[in-house]
Structure 1
């Protein structure tokens, strides 16, 4: 059992009011709130060891370098990567996807196939479209059913020797669907395809074991898991990272530079050109420590309680429809009220101090498939409560009365 009030006390922002009401923050799928230990760690870095890393013999540089690399090792352990050099610091999931999509072109020719799914975030669609445009490859889409689940039988039929890479999300940001990624990974490997997992929505909620999954790449963002914005991780198997060309050129990613020829540094520095977000990388390790102090299994169990409670309470509202009803979901509820635009509901709910997200959630193909302009999305974290869900229900009912 989690002590939710003690956990809430760790998050300074949760004590404030919005529009004269206690803040209820249900936009966690967009970004999570930050505990004081993370906020303090950012200040501590700049107050005590601020220096550039990997380049200085002076004490501050060595202290900053040690802290940065210790954070990399924490994250390696957290996701059970085989080597710390398989853990690349990025600015977020989008950066990780683009890094791989940029370099993967050398393995793709016209007529090859890149496979994604119907429930992807735009960040896991557009880079692969760009790759297909550059190479003449074809983009293949795994269809979904009316519950927002991938149709796995169709996925298996679409796989062939032409499939060179499959890139799917672990969890849908718009629907909360948890995909059967281990099965997808195994089937992709069976036809010789590489596999990329967008873990942006999974890393805050589930324990991740990249070796057990056997994925080739796994990316996630720090800001969704209590860490700073502008931080993220790309995990890649050593063999793939050695094969991929650098994504950017510059300082730090080189072994030797002459005007005639440049040779590249060993992993992970080959992919980390320029001065990184040093404070962010260090503090991402602090955020991982914080999540582990609570326990991902505990977080998952409690958030599932919130999901079940919220689903039950919201479905008691006449005229409310939940979009995304997979049997396997994380703590995301996307819904609409009959005859009322999601934006209008979100605006009224905000006046009552409740933060939800409205719109297409960077998943326009999903909304097009359901023939809707968007949804109202309430996404829960381990610091939310059932009482806050009750407040949401009250606010939605008020919006329905005002707008219906």
Structure 2
């Protein structure tokens, strides 16, 4: 009896939508658009808000929804989602690597994201990533990732290399989660195997492997606007070590990032990001290795070895020119991060700031080119970075 009632209410709720006409989708499945539209209807029934809700899937660059006497008309303009991405980055801090990435963000017409990349240079990496955010057209999430790294890692203090080793790591994780409105909770199992070789005259760490259980909590109320995401989002990651092949202390980690972006007058965009991370061990193999990325701009990749850090990332962007195919913006940025270093080094108050210009492609799922110029206090010097295929 309960099963019959469930079937009845499901059919009734779908029929209450009336006639649903979908046009413009060459690759995206009708049933996927219907699934997303039905989910959006639980939040609002205003055509403009429904359009934005479907746009937030990021596979369309325009969505038009009309309410008719018979039901709804949905017209979509799809973005180009199968993209080979040339990867190149160079800066004055010694970061220089290149490679190729391939991303498909609408696999099978159901917004399944698959990504593969190969990098070589100061970073040597191969990775494959897969995520289905609407697994079997439900509110469940399925994901997995394989990553191979082979890098020279060196800790830097006051412009001097003080420690380092060559690390080869392969990592695999698989996760399953569920979405509740703007929130997604995902459980993850991860295996990591690390091997070490000497670098210069530094001591060589011991090889080891570990198995961890993790949880990701993601909260997202942002609206997708092609060149930025307006609104609030937060991500918290927890990793608990279950097994380790050596006798070193458990390396549990907790990290988080909070973003807020708002468009102001003349389409100017304010971006505020808070981020932190901490680990329970002082072992240099499990240190939080940072550098180059947002929050640490102007430093060498993996050159900051920390037990914990916390900081703010500020940005202010101004659209310069808008074309049919993309948007060119310029802006200011600032990174302010407090770092607790390992190996008995004093804590660091890191600051970098400067200007940047970026180009965002309207019909592609990735930005194109970015250039940044700034100054950072760790090396007390200016820096510039040129980036193709990456997001700063």
TM range (shorter): under 0.3
Q: Which has the higher contact order (CA 8 A, sep 6+)?
A: 1
By percentage of residues, which structure has more helix?
1
State TM-score, norm by structure 1.
0.24
By percentage of residues, which structure has more strand?
2
